[in-house]
Amino acid sequence: MAVDIKPRMSREEVPERLVPVILGGDILVYSLMRGLFDAYGLRSTVIASADIKFLSTSKLCEYRVLDRIDEDGFLASYLEDVGRELSCQGKVGLLLGSGDWYARILSESKERLSEWFVIPYIDFPLLDEITQKERFYEICEEEGILYPKTLTVDCGDPDAQIELDAFPYPVIAKPSNSACYHYAEFPGKKKIFEVESADELATIFRDLQASSYDRELIVQDFIPGGDDAMYSITMFAVKGDVRLACAGQVVLQDHDPTAIGNPVCIVDAWPEIAIEQAKAFLAKVGYDGYANFDVKYDARDGSYRFFEVNTRPGRNSYYVTLAGVNFVEPIVEHFVCGMVPPVREARKPFLYACVPPYVIKRSVSDAALKERILGMYASGVAQFPLFNRHDTLAHGFWSAVTYWNQIPKFDRFLWRTGGKQASVG
């Protein structure tokens, strides 16, 4: 159960005393920067491992490149120095990260860093528990929440054997712990594997055993359906009480093997049953802060199947802002100011779109959905979080490069394969 949040400052003090420090270099980082600037006029300090141009050219942040950012011991020491510097200036840091690995490290380092920073992540024992996918599914079972049929095998056990014929092929294989998987290196590494044969599954398991990854491999029954069968549910809770809820139907996902499963286009939707089940999960564990659920609609029985919970704002959380609530506000209200945010449902129509309409035209097979989405582009509803007319010209240039580069990227990873689009969750 989360502990009471002690306010670090009043809302009126936020613009003068709060300094957001954001780790990483993806679209969520810019979405956080933009939300904090729009709501409070705050410029962020962004720390990343490389020069990501659409971030480093932005006027919304001070950008730092830190080569050893992926070393957790070094990172914590570096952040201590940053915290002391802020404290000498009479300021307090708000420490945010852009991925599962950062959420894990920051949660684990709460006690060490909380003298200087507000760290808006759940306590580490709970984070470690529910991000183990086998434990996530156990809780789902307890709450009557459906999930794909699943088996697990321990990659850290050299004598472990994998059951190759548990489900008909194709099957889905993925690491149970994405933070530990972050460090694993082996040929053909993917975020998620869509496995076509027993031989392929055996090879993946052997490669994982030989790598640094020592947690479980999850093997799941493949739920039929394309990208548009996926749903994203985002919630902000206080001690398990959901204060903000938003959801969207995925129109299209990234098909680059290193980023597969990341939505690049999401449209407003409200899957009532799945939303209520997500609320039940958060109430069960006494969750505090942002959680993001990946869910898939199973047309075979009309159910929604839960894949996982991300213990942080999702990469695409800007869709909450498009739906009517600036998604950074509950973070500041609760964790910085000690308030309980008002109950809100973000249900304004939106189209979160990280790809040009040409990509939708070529990639989406459902004719009715394609027509609806292209119409939203034509009417100006579609919004790309990086396109911000209030930012610099250089930022605008690199954002356009990122946006239009999706065309050759989809040509390489989807269209040249014959247009196969099968969501893997």
Statement: residue 423 has pLDDT above 70: no
In this structure, are residues 353 and 257 in contact, taking their beta carbons and an 8 Å threshold? no
Average pLDDT, stretch 190-217?
A: 92
Task: Establish how many alpha carbons lie within 13 A of residue 380's alpha carbon, considering only the half-sphere containing its beta carbon.
Answer: 0
What stretches of 210-313 adopt beta strand conformation (E)? 216-221, 230-238, 241-253, 263-268, 289-298, 303-310
Average pLDDT, stretch 273-299?
A: 97
Statement: residue 2 has pLDDT above 70: no
Q: Judging by DSSP bridges, how do beta strands 193-195 and 44-48 pair with one another?
A: unpaired
Measured CA to CA, the distance from residue 161 to residue 197 in angstroms comes to 16
Statement: residue 73 has pLDDT above 90: no
> Which of 280, 294, 195, 199 lies closest to 241, judged by CA?
280
Average pLDDT, stretch 94-114?
A: 94
Q: How confident is the model at residue 416 (pLDDT cuts 50, 70, 90)?
A: confident
Q: What tens digit of pLDDT does each residue of 112-154 get?
A: 999 999 999 999 999 999 998 889 999 999 999 999 988 889 9
Return the DSSP state at 222. Answer: P
Residue 178 token pair? 């994405």
Q: How confident is the model at residue 51 (pLDDT cuts 50, 70, 90)?
A: very high
Three-state DSSP at 300 gives coil
Q: What is the pLDDT of residue 89?
A: 96
Q: Which helix (H) or strand (E) holds 287?
A: none
Statement: residue 422 has pLDDT above 50: no
Cα three-residue angle 237-46-393, rounded to 5 degrees? 110
Q: What is the pLDDT of residue 350?
A: 98
Q: What tens digit of pLDDT does each residue of 309-350 get?
A: 999 999 999 999 999 999 999 999 999 999 999 999 999 999
Average pLDDT, stretch 52-68?
A: 96
Q: What is the pLDDT of residue 3?
A: 43
Statement: residue 27 has pLDDT above 90: yes
Show the DSSP H helices in 150-256 as ranges. Answer: 178-181, 198-210
Average pLDDT, stretch 216-221?
A: 90
Statement: residue 202 has pLDDT above 70: yes
Let me know if 67 is exposed, middle or buried by CB neighbors in 10 A (0-12, 13-18, 19+).
Answer: exposed
Q: How confident is the model at residue 418 (pLDDT cuts 50, 70, 90)?
A: low
Average pLDDT, stretch 385-403?
A: 98
In this structure, are residues 185 and 344 in contact, taking their beta carbons and an 8 Å threshold? no
Of 208-222, 229-243, 408-422, highest mean pLDDT: 229-243
Measured CA to CA, the distance from residue 404 to residue 361 in angstroms comes to 14
Percent of the chain beyond pLDDT 90? 83
Average pLDDT, stretch 19-32?
A: 97
Q: How confident is the model at residue 170 (pLDDT cuts 50, 70, 90)?
A: very high
Interacting residues of 199 by C-beta distance below 8 A, sequence separation 6+: none
| Average pLDDT across the chain, whole number | 93
